[in-house]
């Protein structure tokens, strides 16, 4: 990707103009002028190279000079489901970093020990959008908030479902992510609140095919655990891709 400013413009191909909020940033902060070149994405994998054709106080008109399609970052869809912390600043930071890692879906859970009952959805959406642009991604993750844990257990279609917890006495025994990972499979990892999932919640998850995992010996905060799990999955995926690429070259 060229090192040009990236904008989120879902309809730019049809409208040949940046959305008003993006146009204001381009005009007032970046001070773009006709002839300047920009990047835009629709958040669904399309990446556009644009040239500014005209500007005024409210509009930034463009022409499309090149279009390409980016493949998803993971083979399979990756979902992070976690119970939001009491500190909104910490959960916002977590979502931002998850987007940088290339997650496909973010779910904020409502569980027994939830510490936060209300979230500012519009603000979280802006943070996710900003993180996508800043990290030069072409896929905007889906965000779902205040999802009851029972609903997640009943409805989510991921093939591999992992749940991290700290209750060593429970069966089945917790495994490492690397023992549960399947290359190319849609994967969901669930992270509980500071007070952890209840035993009842965990048993219900096990009954529905969730596999218990451990993230190591250290006791981690919710936001840290979520990012550790994502990075672990990312590393496994990259190692497998590298191994396949090496095998292909040898053949």
**Which ranges of the chain does DSSP label H, i.e. alpha helix?**
12-15, 20-24, 88-101, 121-134, 149-155, 177-180, 199-207, 222-250
Which pLDDT score is estimated for 73?
80
Rounded mean pLDDT of 243-249?
Answer: 70
Domains and CATH numbers, the chain: 6-69 (2.40.240.20), 78-242 (3.40.1280.10)
Quickly state the pLDDT bin for 123 (edges 50, 70, 90): very high
Show Cβ contacts of residue 145 under 8 Å, excluding neighbours closer than 6 positions: 107, 108, 119, 121, 124
Quick one: which of 209, 40, 224 has its CA closest to 133? 40
Given a contact cutoff of 8 angstroms between Cβ atoms, the answer to whether 63 and 53 are in contact is yes
Quick one: which of 128, 71, 139 has its CA closest to 102? 139
Provide the percentage of residues in the chain whose pLDDT is more than 70. 98
- Nearest-Å Rg of the Cα atoms of the chain is 21
Q: Please state, in angstroms and rounded to a whole number, the distance separating the CA atoms of residues 4 and 51.
A: 11
Rounded mean pLDDT of 51-65?
Answer: 96
Parallel, antiparallel, or unpaired for β 60-69 and 46-55? Answer: antiparallel
* Tens-place pLDDT, residues 133-157: 999 999 999 999 999 999 999 999 9
Show Cβ contacts of residue 77 under 8 Å, excluding neighbours closer than 6 positions: 104, 105, 158, 186, 187
pLDDT at 248 over 70: no
Which pLDDT score is estimated for 250?
60
Given a contact cutoff of 8 angstroms between Cβ atoms, the answer to whether 213 and 190 are in contact is no
pLDDT at 85 over 90: no
Give pTM, 2 decimals: 0.93
pLDDT at 35 over 80: yes
Which pLDDT score is estimated for 205?
98
């Amino acid at each position: 990707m060229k090192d040009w400013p990236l904008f989120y413009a879902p309809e730019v191909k049809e409208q040949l103009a940046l959305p008003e909020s993006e146009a204001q940033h381009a005009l007032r902060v970046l001070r773009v002028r006709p002839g300047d070149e920009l990047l835009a994405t629709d958040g669904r994998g399309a990446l556009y190279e644009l040239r500014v054709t005209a500007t005024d106080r409210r509009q930034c008109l463009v022409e499309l000079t090149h279009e390409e399609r980016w493949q998803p970052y993971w083979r399979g869809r990756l979902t992070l489901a976690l119970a939001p912390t009491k500190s909104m600043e910490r959960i916002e930071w977590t979502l931002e970093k998850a987007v940088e890692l290339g997650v496909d879906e973010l779910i904020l859970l409502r569980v027994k020990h939830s510490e936060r009952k209300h979230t500012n959805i519009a603000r979280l959406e802006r943070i996710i959008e900003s993180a996508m642009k800043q990290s030069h991604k072409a896929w905007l993750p889906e965000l779902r908030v205040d999802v009851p844990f029972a609903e997640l257990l009943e409805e989510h279609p991921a093939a591999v479902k992992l749940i991290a917890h700290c209750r060593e006495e429970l069966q089945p025994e917790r495994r490492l992510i690397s023992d549960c990972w399947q290359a190319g499979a849609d994967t969901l990892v669930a992270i509980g609140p500071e007070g952890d999932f209840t035993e009842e919640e965990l048993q219900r998850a096990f009954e529905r095919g969730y596999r218990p995992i451990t993230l190591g010996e250290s006791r981690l905060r919710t936001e840290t655990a979520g990012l550790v799990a994502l990075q672990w999955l990312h590393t496994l995926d990259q190692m497998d891709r590298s191994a396949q690429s090496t095998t292909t070259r040898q053949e």
